Structure 1
Amino acid sequence: MNPPLDTPRTTVVLPARDEADRIIATLTALANIPGVEEIVVVDDASTDNTKKLSEGFGARTVRTDGRGGKGGAMLSGLALVGREFPGTEVVLFCDADLGETAGELEVLLLAAGDGARAAIAAFPASVAGGGGFGFVKRFARRGIHARTGFLAAEPLSGQRAVALGDALALPGIAPGFGAEVGMTLDLISRGVRPVEVPVDLNHRATGKTLRGFAHRARQGRDVVRALRGARLPWPDGSPPVPGGGRG
């Protein structure tokens, strides 16, 4: 019988825009995952009280101007982790709309504890198919496969655990909704092949509405930019050295 795995010391980076209705449920679930020591909420120019609620919960909260989109929020949070939480072993990126199902992300940390340098959550089919017609996902999957040989089940998944050293070695993060595609490409380019782990998650699906199609159009545009190599640079020009200073 194999011994139980330990979850590594983890800091969560949670980009959030106008998520006041779900942020507390998501934070509560994350805080109860063994190994999670810090949660950084990056309020990406919200117009509601996402930031106030996160601060009241006790999360470390920073705010961005929204110009870099999701990728910019992720990069800001990761830079803060590198500067201020040197004991972190794994960074867990997580979307803010998972609610209580965010607790299921423990399996990604267990994968990291078992040696995976990057672990990505694959949504169940019932959730993964709850958006549009899958055009953007298939395009992203083909683009990643053509460049790396890696066939991703969930190329757009925002739930991923990455070893801090590998995260800080990234050249930056792709802007907007291309963040995850760019991260996957950059991890593989430095020899880190992600593992995908089925996770029983639920989130707010955009659906087949005008708003949903507009979202996926922006997502498709950002995926194209990521595949072409667009990256937001690190603040101050280089990644931080854990515990202070620049790389």
Structure 2
Amino acid sequence: MITVLIPAYNEEGTIKETIINIKGIPEISKVLVVDDCSLDQTFNEAQKGNPDILIRLEKNRGKGGALNALIPYVDTPFVAMVDADLGESAKELIKLIHPVIKGEYDIAIAGFPKKKKGGLGITMTVAKKGMKWRTGLDFQFPLSGQRVMTLDLFKACTPFAPGFGVETYMNLIIAKKGYKFIEVETNMSHRYTGNDLKGYFHRGKQCLAIIKELIRGVK
């Protein structure tokens, strides 16, 4: 019924547990994983989770490019996207499934518990206010990569935007084409980037990708 797409880059510590917990959800038909040219043991750890499809890219393509490599393998009525660092909390995906497969919404987006995170909140503010400016819609979790959607919406959003622009472009498609969306509170958890040079660089790249997609819009 549902195909799950999991892009992974240097997630050796969580990818196996993420896959196993996703596969434990009855509605999941296939789990597809793409290792985006990781520098650690992500590929080997992913194998231990026994995904239905596992691809290792020879060159890093970024999140959007990695996800695009999985598009040819999608053949179910519903599609989900999941980050590789969810670990055991990946089982919370079940909360997003029922609103979509029942036909109530075209897409369900996961909300995360409020807690202290890295950074100054600039990237999230840009995403929220940018979407409000562009579409008039209020997204509480515009950057959440945990999503369950219909195949129709999936096709409308693919190929995915490059890099970290995936979710922003998808949000713009949702708004432009009038898809019904719901944001669902979950107990999902994942690794947050820290308040160091590496963390700020990561969030800076993400923020630039968001701004680029907001400016580009949807034709």
TM-score range, shorter chain: over 0.9
Kept after mapping to 1: 8 A contact 2:63/2:163? yes
1:189 pairs with one of 176, 197, 211: 176
The aligned amino acid for 1:120 is: I
The aligned amino acid for 1:35 is: E
Q: Does 1:11 align with 2:6?
A: no
| Aligned-partner Cα distance in 1 for 2:198–2:143 | 19
| Aligned-partner Cα distance in 2 for 1:209–1:100 | 27
Kept after mapping to 1: 8 A contact 2:78/2:101? no
Compute the displacement of 1:56 (Å).
3.5
Aligned pair in 2 of structure 1 residues 119, 66: CA closer, same or farther (>3 Å)? farther
Unpaired segments ≥5 residues, structure 2: none
The aligned amino acid for 1:197 is: V
What is residue 119 of structure 1 aligned with on the other side? Answer: 108
Name the % identity: 36
Q: Does 1:61 align with 2:47?
A: no
What is residue 142 of structure 1 aligned with on the other side? Answer: 129
Give the root-mean-square deviation of aligned CA atoms: 1.7
| Aligned-partner Cα distance in 1 for 2:195–2:73 | 37
Aligned pair in 2 of structure 1 residues 56, 171: CA closer, same or farther (>3 Å)? closer
Compute the displacement of 1:64 (Å).
2.9
2:90 pairs with one of 93, 99, 102: 102
Unpaired segments ≥5 residues, structure 1: 1-8, 232-247
What is residue 174 of structure 1 aligned with on the other side? Answer: 161
1:104-152 deviations in whole A, cap 9, x for unaligned? 11111112123211110011112xx412111111101111111111110
Alignment of 1:214-225 (within 5 A): 214-225=201-212
| Aligned-partner Cα distance in 2 for 1:110–1:92 | 12
Aligned pair in 2 of structure 1 residues 230, 46: CA closer, same or farther (>3 Å)? farther
What is residue 35 of structure 2 aligned with on the other side? Answer: 43
| Aligned-partner Cα distance in 1 for 2:133–2:81 | 25
The aligned amino acid for 1:53 is: E
**TM-score of the aligned structures, taking structure 2 as reference length:** 0.92
What is residue 29 of structure 1 aligned with on the other side? Answer: 21
1:212-242 deviations in whole A, cap 9, x for unaligned? 11110111111111112289xxxxxxxxxxx
1:22-57 deviations in whole A, cap 9, x for unaligned? 111111110111201110001111112212222333
What is residue 73 of structure 2 aligned with on the other side? Answer: 81
Compute the displacement of 1:80 (Å).
2.4
Compute the displacement of 1:188 (Å).
2.0
What is residue 80 of structure 2 aligned with on the other side? Answer: 92
The aligned amino acid for 2:153 is: D
Give SS of 2:7's match. Answer: strand
Compute the displacement of 1:101 (Å).
0.3
Kindly report structure 1 stretches of 4+ aligned residues shifted beyond 4 Å: none
Number of residue-to-residue matches in the alignment: 216
What is residue 229 of structure 1 aligned with on the other side? Answer: 216
Compute the displacement of 1:160 (Å).
0.6
